[in-house]
Amino acid sequence: MSDPHGTAEEPRLLSDVRDGVAIATLNRPRKLNALDQAAIAALDAWVTATEANRDIRVAILTGAGDRAFSSGGDIKAWAGLDPVSFGRDWIREGHRVFDRLARLRQPLIVVLNGPAFGGGLELAATADLIVAEEQAEIGLPETSLGMVPGWSGTQRLVRRFGSRTVKRMALAGKMFSADEAALEGLVDEICAAGTGLERALQLAGDICRRGPVAVEVAKALINAAEGEEQSAALEALAGAFIATTADLQEGVAGFREKRAPKFEGR
């Protein structure tokens, strides 16, 4: 099915659910799946729907066609914005949605079915696992346009890939092939052209065979160690533990019965 963002002829995102796996496909193949405001809104809506569906165990994101995962932000979408709108409506909104993707409760697998440049690489970096087809390339070309990465390319990418590797891309314009990216630890696996989604579904099956709560908590803990929403992860885990205690049940009962609770420390 498709979401309502984009035109009737070209919805920005195609989505499907197969056996507990949510699959989203960036759908602007003629424009190399470049991201505009409608695409960002579609990703935001997909995250909301995926988070809310308790039957979904894993999420997969890829691109349509065979020419690119995503060439990054659509220059036509931001070039005409005034400085305030550029910072508020383009950079901040993209950041917010990418943060949501990185903090998705389900594991997220990205399939690079082609190059991922600029914002496309920043989008891929929100994933827990990255499968790259052999024709994939990655890079951060923003400084060649006189701008800087804006959707956490200098932040999340540094945390996940290391500052020296990111500097090679952002400062010197290094473009990594799929093989080079694997050697640098920028992608987890390489597969033949056209087989990325199949491999991602196999990985999703491996994940689905594990304890769902354990997987979700493990992801939250690893994200916290990496600096991804550390405070919220700690409070969520603490709240989940407290919800199992007799003290909480007694506290709620005391409130409802308008009496002082009798806590027993268990």
Catalytic amino acids? 122, 142
CA gap 207, 58 in Å, rounded: 7
Interatomic CA distance for residues 222 and 233, integer angstroms: 10
The H or E element containing residue 116 is strand 116-117
149 vs 253: CA distance, rounded Å = 52
Q: How far apart are CA 38 and CA 53, in angstroms?
A: 23
- E strands of 196-257, at which residues? none
- Give me the DSSP letters along 136-185: -EEE--GGGGT----SSTTTHHHHHH-HHHHHHHHTT---EEHHHHHHTT
C-alpha of 190 from chain center: 19
Residue 245, Cα to own-chain centre: how many angstroms?
33
Count of positions (residues) in the chain = 266
Tokens 């070209």 belong to 10
